[in-house]
Structure 1
Amino acid sequence: MVPGVGSGMGEGRLVFVNVVKPGLMAAQSVAGVSLRGHQEEALEAIVRGLTPRPGRPVSPSGLRVTVQMATGSGKSYVGAAAGQRLASRGTVLVVVPTLDLLVQMVGSWRAAGRAGDMHAVCSLVDSELPFGVMATTSPLMIGTWLQHAARHRRPTTIFATYTSVGAVADAYAYWAERQGELLPPLGLMVCDEAHRSSGSVEKTWTVVHDQAEIPAERRLYMTATPRIWAPPSKAMKRREDALQPLPEELAVSMDDQRIYGPQVFTLGLAEAIDRKLLAPFEIVVLELRDPLGDRSGTQQQGVPWGPGVGEAEDGSEDEVPAARIAAIQAGLVKTMVERVLQRCITFHSRTIEARYFAETLNQTVEKLNIDNPQKYPEEFWTQWLSGEHDVDFRKEVIADFGSSEGDDGLRHRVVAQCKVLGEGVDIPDADSVLLQGRGSMVDIVQAIGRALRMKPGEGKTASLIVPVFLKPGEEPGDILESESYSALIKVLTALRSHDARVVEALAVPQKSGKRTKGRSAEAACGPGESWSGEGGSGAFTLPVRFQAPVDENVLALFIASRVLTGENQFWREGINHARRWHEETGGLDVPYSAMVGEEGKFPLGKWLSDRRTEHSAGELARHRVDMLDALGMTWSVSDARFEAGLDWARVWAKGHGGSLAAPARASIGGYAIGTWLSELRAAAQVPAGQPGALVPERRRALEEIDPWWCPAWPIVWQRTYAVARQWWLESDGLVDWTVLPVDTVFEGEQLGRWVQAQRAGWADLDQEQRDLLAALGIGEDVELAAARAAAAAKPKVSRADRFGAGLAALAAFVEREGHAKVPRAHKTEEGLSLGAWLNNQKARRDKLSPEQRGQLEALGVTW
């Protein structure tokens, strides 16, 4: 257990009150950024997870939740929007792994509308940071920032790296020891790329988990890869009595909810691709011959290697595997040309290799061009990057990398980099990456993410190019017998960290052995390649393309034995769960969100929905159709769509107090529940029997979930009522609404102001609305109603009578004082504000009748 987690803070123990005051800024209205459906869904889950429930104590370690969102799906903006909602006037600490990402994160939070002071805890100087951001690692300065933010209730955002975040803990300790007082806790801590905070508890950055070191009311952990898988070891099992490298009690795992809280939102890689948030991709295996170890095989393969190829002017080829690099370059050039790939990032573990790769690439291009000028261009655009380059140079190179053929006449672009374009750095224009399987698993995981990012509507397909060097005597496609495919194993293992099911689906032959053949196969795979492994439980399936034919049964065995620890058979698992469901219920009326199996992890409802989609497209094998028909499968797309929506409506209602008053932009599980309900409400307004009217059966099904799903009053009123009801339920019905603070915010709604408005406007409500409110104990504001009744009962005085009273008072003043210059503040004994009345008559002179003007002038009034 991490020190501080679950333990109190002594006299400074963190205490929550029932009323929270998050920011009022809605997700869709943050400055300059409009959150997309999946981002709003994630934001709502975060706000709900980090909102204290009325009447329930909060753990001394604060509220904690984890969000998994696929790389490139906009975690940064979601985190920023959460900061606005949960700590609009408080202090937020944002922790990131690298300095580059820190600078980028400042821009993201500003773009999302975050105002107030921004500071950085890192080694950068102020000139290297965005304008207006100060940097320090001084505990005194950091403590001053925190104290100033608390005293002035000013929004403050502090950005730190995992390496430097210990300085924030030092600030809390320094202030307690030297200043003799406890600094207030953070309103929110956002840990981006949160997998970096797992592992050994002895890592310095695990201090982010420790409530005693860095107190925070809320912690939000965000990551694309909650688990970084390691390739299965072929070594002998460790003896039971052997010393373990990381004892369990000293490990920090993202599976531990005591540390990371519950995972409130998940958007996996395959789902993100299905939603067109990330690019679909393929793995292209370059099966190469080693130019040094297998000269004869190299010549047969046609790898350009000879005088001038791979040579560098400074002789650096003596420090890199020049012959191998030339072979990889040749394979890369051929792949980019044949697959019409325009921008590739190559990843290297050493700076000298990245530089060498870039500076000699065009020698290989030239060699290929000489041999086949009709196919290969004369030149590629190429450049290299490493940590040695300053930020401005990196930006310039990235900008040139994003240019097009129309800018400089070069169609293909390659940037070779060494540990620069890592976590969080956006290069959406890359359509391919070259991965040699070297470096840490974290590096490979992040490298894969670079290729999958894309701009909305870009519609690209990315390629993960993996070179492998076959040993003498080995043939392409011998993946079971060969030990040369370790790079592919490592890349597939890294992909498993993004989304385990994408890789696990390859462990089972799909499509019943059905394989693309003939010209369509040639078009899909390219010359001399074979297709393997398209299948799975979702719409996206991962193609793995080899140079020589690889039977998918062989690929499945390779994945199961070399990448996974066990075989995962999606079709067999799905049909077995379907059969059990049929045995228990007599049919396959399965809700879309139904999760079955051990620990409820198999999505049977979605699995069946995917089979309907395949069936409607004619892609589901006949024998599989027969198997599902035997279990009573419902194939009607229309009915299935309504049933799917109805099931998501049940899920939404369960999480929102039984209400279906979802906003139009709401989504859940990727399903646009708000749009679905809006369309049904519109259909409910159409008279029965007319085209487009909602059929009675569907109306009744919705009313069984929420009788008020389509109220006569605005849906916004019903939505806030549902929040009030949720507050009432979680308070066990013991709520005195008359003393509820007006600034109370709950579930993102202005609950206090809304209740006040209902009590004040009771007379304007429908009787059914009054009945709903009365059920919660909300009634009319009696004092306000009495005041209104008294005002209504008071005899009305006409304007002419009021003028007459004022004129009489003015005449008495003139008789007493001898003039009509009445002071502004003068009042009569009867309480009439004579000075104000006279000024008002002068101001509205044009509206007075000639007789009234004459009466005033007769008393000496001048205009």
Structure 2
Amino acid sequence: MNVVKPGLMAAQAAAGISLRGHQEEALEAIVRGLTPRPGHPAPNGLRVTVQMATGSGKSYVGAAAGQKLVPRGVVLVVVPTLDLLVQMIGSWRAAGRSGDMHAICSLVDSELPYGVLASTSPLMIGMWLSDAAKHRRPTTIFATYTSVGAVKDAYEYWADRQGEVLPPLGLMVCDEAHRSSGSVEKTWTVVHDQAAIPADRRLYMTATPRIWAPPKRPVKGREGAYQPLPEELAVSMDDVRIYGPHVYSLGLAEAIDRKLLAPFEIVVLELRDPLGDRDRAEQQGVPWGPGVGEAPDGSEDEVPAARIAAIQAGLVKTVVERGLERCITFHNRTIEARYFSETLNQTVEKLHFENPQKYPPEIWAQWLSGEHDIDYRKELIRDFGKSEEDDGLRHRIFSNCKVLGEGVDMPNADSVLLQGRGSMVDIVQAIGRALRMQPGEGKTASLIVPVFLKPGEEPGDILESDSYGPLVKILTALRSHDAKVVEALAVPQKSGKRTKGRSAEAAVGPGESGSGASGGSGAFTLPVRFQTPVDENVLALFIASRVLVGETQLWREGIGHARRWFEETGGLDVPYSAMVGENGNYPLGKWLSDRRGENAAGELASYRVEMLDALGMIWSVSDARFEAGLDWARVWAKGHGGSLAAPARAAVGGYAIGTWLSELRASAQVPAGEPGALSPERRRALEEIDPWWCPVWPITWQRAYATARLWWLDTDGLVDWTRLPLDTVYEGEQLGRWVQAQRAGWPGLEEDQRDLLSAIGIEADPELVAAKQAAEAKPKVSRADRFQLHLAALAEFVEREGHARVPRPYKTGEGLSLGSWLNNTKARRDKLSAEQVGQLEALGVAW
């Protein structure tokens, strides 16, 4: 069986969409990881995991992967919600997926896109799978995690009742894959079971491979004492036996740095608790009218009207002062979402009355819950997307209760209100919704977090106060999206100045006072804005003691692996591509490279520099740009059989490795001693990775050879090249045709090329060589002569048949492909001469 695996050059969706650079990188990594290797069976199916920041287009990447890997087989797509199921069908169609589409869910056919049939019957699902196998047509089945068990039932039913074993799925795509792991939704783990749902390949996609539960509040035993507690990992996807290797990662910070998402900040609303500090809370706006609740006796369903009013006033002030236009508020009770929305304009009127120059008289306010029907939801969502030009209302605030989660298409918001209530999974998803904001307007998105201070507490006393629990939960949830973004906040600054409160040691460094972080590598750092300025070092201690525990997870894990490397080798001369750890999936080389970047920018704490120096850290390199490129070259070569024959547009980890290598090949052609010539040291460094990185023959030949060598290696050298089918495609190369061309063109190859081919068992074919030489010896026929030859054949056809409608497959007795020639000639009419057009029209050719 031929193995088809497109490479980066072919990483384009088949129709309707064009993937962006990071999506092409992810697609190439997926297809590479899910391509069977000759001689390496996978009894449990091939499995890979991809992490892509929310809003970076992972749904399209999954759809494109399905098109590339299983163009004519069965693909099962599993999602957490019905809304996302409907949206996913659209994404797959946009990616060019054709054929039958079915849904395993409770929706009726009229609630699904046109042409999609729904059922949860094992008999019907079995028929879908059986028909797809018999007719070899593309079939895509969409299910939710709660309904996917019906696929297992279908396999069992078909075996018991029909006496037939259904073939395995070609591919299973698990979107929001964290839903299938850890201690959450245990019943959904059927997607992992190869015996229950057999699949040749499994692709797990998520924005949050880890969902962290916030650590408990440190026990206060004595002044200044903080007792660290172990972090609780509520959901983990680290088990490579189940989820396969992580073949591609695009974190939140990197997505922002690459301008795929808008930068954001956290705005903390420090409010007075109306229930515990009524005198000071009276200065905050309270809506008119009585409280609204379903329980007149004041039980659990009553809405805390005074608290909501305080949040409303703080939110409206923030929205107006920061020029925010679209805000989404998240609530864990329907009655609260409704009350918040329906009384919001009462608070707005009060603020407008007090300061009409600052606050508008009205804002757009609506709410949704899961009880609203789909049409009503769509109508309100459309209204939310309008602007001041449409209805005169500049600010729009949309309140919802568990509606705007995974899979709901919403206009871009520029802010969200998060109260830190509900499960961590819900909070993580709410933040994911907030971060789905596209860059372009130069506006920073805002995550607005209200906290209520107790009597005696002052704004900014984050180390002393117990009231900042909601902020802890939001920062912990953000850590699930990108741990580095939050952990960078815990890096103390450089001086030795003590902070206020408990006399904790911290350092004062550069940065905007009271604004948040300035640490961490990369362009994006997360600002945290407080009502009263908070020193960055106080914030760092707050993050370390309340959000993280003790040293940051990122640092502790990295320095632990570095110490083990030092113990084994006596230094830290670590290649960029080095992967270490029990499962070999920790990127120590990249971690050390990031620390070099931090140190060069003056952002690495001195005590951490000393720790790395003690392990023999190498800080300086002769040419940082070349060394960085060399690191990426090692990464590329590792994934491509040791070859550096990368296409010019190739990228790895966002680094343009193809362009870098092309420039160096150009430098290698410059004579030694002349400006721009490649130094011998750099040439040797590249040759250590790939001796043929800059051959005298075309790099395209070397790339095809590297693919042939990969095939040879994957078959353990047991390959009969003389029997390789011509249509064999591997790693995106027409391998079968290329091998035949080498065997036929052997005399015209360089001696080194012949040696390379012989090393993997490819030899000359005397018959093919003779045939090629005979063909080259024939006199060349000009284009004009070929035209006249086919024109004469067309005249004979017209005389015999009475028309010029030649079927495309038609060939003459002499072997001329007359149908194809006529079809191609029509397509290039603008390149024909007037005389040729006239000759064709005289024979009755219709354009």
TM-score normalized by the length of structure 1:
0.79
Query: What pairs up with 1:731-746 in 2 under 5 angstroms?
Result: 731-746=715-730
Corresponding residue for 1:506?
489
Q: In the aligned structure 1, how far is the partner of 2:138 from the partner of 2:661? A: 37
Of 220, 233, 255, 1:272 maps to 255
Corresponding residue for 1:668?
652
The secondary structure found in structure 1 opposite 2:700 is helix
Report Cα offsets for 1:213-270 as digits up to 9, x if no partner. 111011111111112211224599xxxxxxxxxxx9xx99522222212222222222
Q: In the aligned structure 2, how far is the partner of 1:497 from the partner of 1:290? A: 30
Give, in angstroms, the shift of residue 447 of structure 1: 0.8
- The answer to whether the aligner puts 1:659 opposite 2:643 as a matched pair is yes
Query: What pairs up with 1:136-147 in 2 under 5 angstroms?
Result: 136-147=119-130
User: Residues 120 and 135 of structure 1 are in contact (CA less than 8 Å); yes or no, is this contact kept in structure 2?
Assistant: yes
Of 467, 474, 479, 1:496 maps to 479
- The answer to whether the aligner puts 1:725 opposite 2:723 as a matched pair is no
Shift in CA distance, 457/736, structure 1 to aligned 2, threshold 3 Å: farther
User: Residues 513 and 552 of structure 1 are in contact (CA less than 8 Å); yes or no, is this contact kept in structure 2?
Assistant: no
Give, in angstroms, the shift of residue 206 of structure 1: 1.6
Corresponding residue for 1:116?
99
Corresponding residue for 2:246?
263
User: Residues 129 and 166 of structure 2 are in contact (CA less than 8 Å); yes or no, is this contact kept in structure 1?
Assistant: yes
Corresponding residue for 1:85?
68
Corresponding residue for 1:43?
27
Of 706, 713, 716, 2:700 maps to 716
Report Cα offsets for 1:625-650 as digits up to 9, x if no partner. 999999897667x9101110011101
- The answer to whether the aligner puts 1:307 opposite 2:288 as a matched pair is yes
- The answer to whether the aligner puts 1:371 opposite 2:360 as a matched pair is no
User: Residues 121 and 161 of structure 1 are in contact (CA less than 8 Å); yes or no, is this contact kept in structure 2?
Assistant: yes
Shift in CA distance, 46/579, structure 1 to aligned 2, threshold 3 Å: closer
Report Cα offsets for 1:516-559 as digits up to 9, x if no partner. xxxxx9xx97xxx9323432244332222222243444433333
Report Cα offsets for 1:464-487 as digits up to 9, x if no partner. 111111222222223333332221
Q: In the aligned structure 2, how far is the partner of 1:642 from the partner of 1:259? A: 38
Give, in angstroms, the shift of residue 600 of structure 1: 8.2
Corresponding residue for 1:31?
15
The secondary structure found in structure 1 opposite 2:737 is helix
Q: Which amino acid is the alignment partner of residue 636 of structure 2?
A: W
Q: In the aligned structure 1, how far is the partner of 2:545 from the partner of 2:291? A: 37
Q: Which amino acid is the alignment partner of residue 285 of structure 2?
A: P
User: Residues 267 and 530 of structure 2 are in contact (CA less than 8 Å); yes or no, is this contact kept in structure 1?
Assistant: yes
User: Residues 21 and 743 of structure 1 are in contact (CA less than 8 Å); yes or no, is this contact kept in structure 2?
Assistant: no
Query: What pairs up with 1:243-392 in 2 under 5 angstroms?
Result: 254-299=237-282, 302-305=283-286, 307=288, 319-392=302-375
- The answer to whether the aligner puts 1:440 opposite 2:440 as a matched pair is no
Shift in CA distance, 444/484, structure 1 to aligned 2, threshold 3 Å: same
Q: In the aligned structure 2, how far is the partner of 1:632 from the partner of 1:198? A: 37
User: Residues 104 and 142 of structure 2 are in contact (CA less than 8 Å); yes or no, is this contact kept in structure 1?
Assistant: yes
Q: In the aligned structure 1, how far is the partner of 2:660 from the partner of 2:700? A: 16
Corresponding residue for 1:706?
690
Of 508, 514, 527, 1:543 maps to 527
Corresponding residue for 1:194?
177
Q: Which amino acid is the alignment partner of residue 483 of structure 1?
A: D
Q: Which moved more, 1:66-75 or 1:213-222?
A: 66-75
Q: Which moved more, 1:676-685 or 1:652-661?
A: 676-685
Q: Which moved more, 1:199-208 or 1:104-113?
A: 199-208
The secondary structure found in structure 2 opposite 1:64 is strand
User: Residues 577 and 587 of structure 2 are in contact (CA less than 8 Å); yes or no, is this contact kept in structure 1?
Assistant: no
User: Residues 309 and 326 of structure 1 are in contact (CA less than 8 Å); yes or no, is this contact kept in structure 2?
Assistant: no
Q: In the aligned structure 1, how far is the partner of 2:547 from the partner of 2:342? A: 35
Q: Which amino acid is the alignment partner of residue 692 of structure 2?
A: W
Q: Which moved more, 1:82-91 or 1:535-544?
A: 535-544
User: Residues 109 and 117 of structure 2 are in contact (CA less than 8 Å); yes or no, is this contact kept in structure 1?
Assistant: yes
Shift in CA distance, 205/572, structure 1 to aligned 2, threshold 3 Å: closer
- The answer to whether the aligner puts 1:176 opposite 2:181 as a matched pair is no
Q: In the aligned structure 2, how far is the partner of 1:576 from the partner of 1:450? A: 35
Q: Which amino acid is the alignment partner of residue 350 of structure 2?
A: K
Q: In the aligned structure 2, how far is the partner of 1:447 from the partner of 1:193? A: 14
Q: In the aligned structure 1, how far is the partner of 2:365 from the partner of 2:436? A: 21
Give, in angstroms, the shift of residue 316 of structure 1: 13
Of 170, 184, 188, 1:205 maps to 188
Q: In the aligned structure 2, how far is the partner of 1:439 from the partner of 1:125? A: 31
Give identity over the alignment, percent.
78
Q: Cα RMSD between the aligned structures?
A: 4.1
User: Residues 77 and 112 of structure 1 are in contact (CA less than 8 Å); yes or no, is this contact kept in structure 2?
Assistant: yes
Query: What pairs up with 1:825-836 in 2 under 5 angstroms?
Result: none
The secondary structure found in structure 2 opposite 1:229 is strand
Shift in CA distance, 580/443, structure 1 to aligned 2, threshold 3 Å: closer
Give, in angstroms, the shift of residue 123 of structure 1: 1.3
Query: How many residue pairs are counted as aligned between the two chains?
Result: 761
* Structure 2: gaps (5+ residues): 220-232, 499-507, 781-798, 801-811, 819-847
Q: In the aligned structure 2, how far is the partner of 1:111 from the partner of 1:316? A: 53
Corresponding residue for 2:3?
20
Shift in CA distance, 366/169, structure 1 to aligned 2, threshold 3 Å: same
Give, in angstroms, the shift of residue 760 of structure 1: 3.7
User: Residues 506 and 559 of structure 1 are in contact (CA less than 8 Å); yes or no, is this contact kept in structure 2?
Assistant: yes
User: Residues 37 and 666 of structure 1 are in contact (CA less than 8 Å); yes or no, is this contact kept in structure 2?
Assistant: no
Shift in CA distance, 407/606, structure 1 to aligned 2, threshold 3 Å: farther
Shift in CA distance, 252/209, structure 1 to aligned 2, threshold 3 Å: farther
Corresponding residue for 2:756?
772
- The answer to whether the aligner puts 1:681 opposite 2:662 as a matched pair is no
The secondary structure found in structure 2 opposite 1:425 is coil
Corresponding residue for 2:828?
none
Of 54, 58, 77, 1:94 maps to 77
Give, in angstroms, the shift of residue 332 of structure 1: 0.8
Report Cα offsets for 1:767-803 as digits up to 9, x if no partner. 443332222111233333345567899999xxxxxxx
User: Residues 53 and 250 of structure 2 are in contact (CA less than 8 Å); yes or no, is this contact kept in structure 1?
Assistant: yes
Q: In the aligned structure 2, how far is the partner of 1:475 from the partner of 1:291? A: 15
Shift in CA distance, 793/593, structure 1 to aligned 2, threshold 3 Å: closer
Corresponding residue for 2:822?
none
Q: Which amino acid is the alignment partner of residue 370 of structure 1?
A: F
Corresponding residue for 2:388?
405
* Structure 1: gaps (5+ residues): 1-16, 237-247, 516-520, 797-820, 823-833, 841-863
Q: Which amino acid is the alignment partner of residue 655 of structure 1?
A: G
